[in-house]
Amino acid sequence: AKAEGRNNYRFFLPSMHERVKERKTIEEDLRNALEHDQLELFYQPKVDCLSEKVVGAEALVRWNHPERGLILPGDFISVAEECGLINKLGAWVLREACKQTQIWRENGMPELRMAVNLSPAQFQDADLLRTVTRTIETTKLPHGTLELEITESILMNNPEKAVSTLKELKKLGVGIAIDDFGTGYSSLNYLKRFPVTSIKIDRSFVNDINVDQDDKAIVDAVIGLGHSLHLAVVAEGVEQVEQLQYLQNKGCDFIQGFLFSRPLPVRDFEEWVRDRRE
Minimum Å gap between C-beta 261 and ligand C2E is 9
Minimum Å gap between C-beta 56 and Ca ion is 12
Q: Which does 94 bind (CB under 5 to 8 A by kind): Ca ion, ligand C2E, none?
A: none
Minimum Å gap between C-beta 97 and ligand C2E is 8
Minimum Å gap between C-beta 117 and Ca ion is 5
Interface residues with ligand C2E (CB under 6 A)?
Answer: 44, 60-61, 72-74, 77, 90, 93, 117-119, 149, 179-180, 203, 236-239, 256-258, 263
What one-letter code names the amino acid at 104? Answer: W
10 Å Cβ neighbour count for 222? 23
Q: Looking at 147, 149, 152, 253, which residue binds Ca ion (CB under 5 A)?
A: 149
Distance (Å, rounded) from C-alpha 241 to C-alpha 229? 28
Kindly tell me which of 60 and 98 has the beta carbon lying closer to ligand C2E.
Answer: 60
The DSSP line for the chain is -HHHHHHHHHHHS-GGGHHHHHHHHHHHHHHHHHHTT-EEEEEEEEEETTT--EEEEEEEEEEEETTTEEE-GGGTHHHHHHTT-HHHHHHHHHHHHHHHHHHHHHTT----EEEEE--HHHHH-TTHHHHHHHHHHHHTPPTTSEEEEE-HHHHHHSHHHHHHHHHHHHHTT-EEEEEEETSS---HHHHHHS---EEEE-HHHHHTTTT-HHHHHHHHHHHHHHHHTT-EEEE----SHHHHHHHHHTT--EE-STTT---B-HHHHHHHHHHHH-
Kindly tell me which of 40 and 220 has the beta carbon lying closer to ligand C2E.
Answer: 40
Residues 207-236 that bind Ca ion (CB under 5 A): none
Residue 141 makes CB contacts below 8 A (sequence gap 6+) with 98, 101, 102, 114
Minimum Å gap between C-beta 1 and ligand C2E is 28
Residues 117-136 that bind Ca ion (CB under 5 A): 117
Kindly tell me which of 104 and 260 has the beta carbon lying closer to ligand C2E.
Answer: 260
- Which CA distances in Å does 58 have to 46, 47, 201? 7, 11, 15
Q: Which does 73 bind (CB under 5 to 8 A by kind): ligand C2E, Ca ion, none?
A: ligand C2E
Minimum Å gap between C-beta 202 and Ca ion is 6
Minimum Å gap between C-beta 102 and Ca ion is 21
Kindly tell me which of 13 and 121 has the beta carbon lying closer to ligand C2E.
Answer: 121
Kindly tell me which of 29 and 180 has the beta carbon lying closer to ligand C2E.
Answer: 180
Taking contact as CB under 5 A, which single stretch among the options 70-78, 130-138, 147-155, 190-198 is the one that binds Ca ion?
A: 147-155
Residues 50-109 that bind Ca ion (CB under 5 A): none
Kindly tell me which of 60 and 146 has the beta carbon lying closer to ligand C2E.
Answer: 60
Kindly tell me which of 9 and 208 has the beta carbon lying closer to ligand C2E.
Answer: 208
Binding status of residue 179 toward Ca ion by CB under 5 A: yes
Q: Is 21 exposed, middle or buried (0-12, 13-18, 19+ CB in 10 A)?
A: middle
Report the interface residues with Ca ion, using CB under 5 A.
Answer: 117, 149, 179-180
